Structure 1
């Protein structure tokens, strides 16, 4: 079926918008491969000539980005495991069990989503300080094992969309609630879990403020924090800063690109809209 002029106009406008959005990424990658001092030459260079792959080697090894990457992977994996496990368990309980105060607990949990993080930042800091957990990964990781309001809500909506008859049939066959949870509903919740995993990965990987508050030892820095202080270590060389930026952003882009199908499917199946 042929496209109408309105559709072609919409495609052209969206295509131009997409190209404009790609310009900063192109400039970042191009600059990361240039020789130092040529990134601001007049007339400006669109492509590096020659290509300086050594910029990545300098950032990766000399500035210790390999250590920062390992730290980010460690924190992100723990955050993923804690968030998925805790949110799935709480959402399952709220969706299938009847108990006094269930609706009140659910509404109170949703109410926490209305609180800006800036409000709880200072009291949370003093709590961790009183526990002697500063300059460690405990403030970045332990909170994920207590669940998140958004993750619980996302999975709760998905569990509510699944047939209740599955639970009743398994219960009649002698399965306990725990067995029903991990053998029936967890496999069925893969789309929603995948969407939550993408959200959690992006949030944990890009988290800059909390590591900045809690981490002081340079050996514990994550990638965003290492990138934040990179300009001080490379004398503000733009080529090396852009190389560090590419290293930091590449995993997020790859994860979102390969998991986009599950991400969209999970959001659509829960009934959430942007």
Structure 2
């Protein structure tokens, strides 16, 4: 066996062990979610559930309204994805392909917002939504996505700047307007960058706890993260740890699945967005 093959096998073994170690907390939560009430607290612990039961998931989804929370989370996430990708692509394209007065200053100020902690703007932002009469609605969780996101704008800007200018110029000569060039030429060529932004946005919107905690008051509008917080107040969950574990699995699983299936695009997007500074 060649030295390179041995090294590759060694690297795969190390990475597989590392991935397994990272997955141990999730696997333990998944295991407990499939156990009966008696087996959850059993000592010594039961690593593989026997018998396997889906009763905890039925309780969480039906009796504790997690099915409703799941729908609310998907509703918020989908609009966040659409708004973030469209607005970031549009603004990033403008910064990359148009020259205007104050362009560098505006771009620098936009990037500077990444260094501003969310806690700084939390209170004034809350009062803005309150004065607008939008509390206890999904609008404060959705509308900001349509106003551009600094990370997404930067990713698209770097990606578009790495593309040859002749692509844009030839499209103009053929009679395309800038918006058509963006949506029919540049965005299809930016799939890795787009997937990177989709993954980042999905994780951020799905795991967002502070936003729903601030703006949502009606229980029927709660997202999954808010649903997890309510489990501490539920007598059913207090009497059965497996119910809490089932709620945690439902919350964590979509993020893990999305990241695993889009990992290839995620890496490609990071590379293509750093080609040209």
User: TM-score, normalization: structure 2?
Assistant: 0.93
Q: Distance in 1 between matches of 2:11 and 2:265?
A: 27
Residue of structure 2 in register with 1:106 after alignment: 107
Maintained 8 Å contact 2:237/2:244: no
CA RMSD of aligned residues (A): 1.8
Q: Is 1:241 the equivalent of 2:244? A: yes
CA offsets per residue over residues 76-126 of structure 1, 9 Å max, x none? Answer: 010011001100000000100011001110000000001011111111111
Residue of structure 1 in register with 2:266 after alignment: 263
User: TM-score, normalization: structure 1?
Assistant: 0.94
Q: Distance in 1 between matches of 2:176 and 2:10?
A: 57
| Superposed counterparts of 1:106-145, under 5 Å | 106-145=107-146
The alpha-carbon deviation at position 179 of structure 1 amounts to: 1.7
The alpha-carbon deviation at position 271 of structure 1 amounts to: 1.5
Q: Distance in 2 between matches of 1:219 and 1:197?
A: 27
The alpha-carbon deviation at position 129 of structure 1 amounts to: 0.9
Residue of structure 1 in register with 2:164 after alignment: 163
| Superposed counterparts of 1:1-274, under 5 Å | 1-3=2-4, 13-233=14-234, 234-236=236-238, 237-271=240-274
Q: Distance in 1 between matches of 2:247 and 2:103?
A: 47
The alpha-carbon deviation at position 227 of structure 1 amounts to: 1.2
Q: Distance in 2 between matches of 1:169 and 1:6?
A: 47
CA offsets per residue over residues 138-197 of structure 1, 9 Å max, x none? Answer: 110000000110110011000001111111111122222122111211111121111111
The alpha-carbon deviation at position 11 of structure 1 amounts to: 5.7
Q: Distance in 2 between matches of 1:87 and 1:14?
A: 34
Report the CA distance shift for 1:175/1:32 in structure 2 as closer, same or farther (over 3 A): same
CA offsets per residue over residues 190-247 of structure 1, 9 Å max, x none? Answer: 2111111111111111111110111110000001110121132224221000011111
The alpha-carbon deviation at position 17 of structure 1 amounts to: 3.2
The alpha-carbon deviation at position 15 of structure 1 amounts to: 4.2
Count matched residues: 272
Q: Distance in 2 between matches of 1:268 and 1:189?
A: 12
Q: Which has the larger displacement, 106-115 or 228-237?
A: 228-237
Q: Distance in 1 between matches of 2:194 and 2:97?
A: 18
Q: Distance in 1 between matches of 2:242 and 2:203?
A: 25
Q: Distance in 1 between matches of 2:7 and 2:149?
A: 43
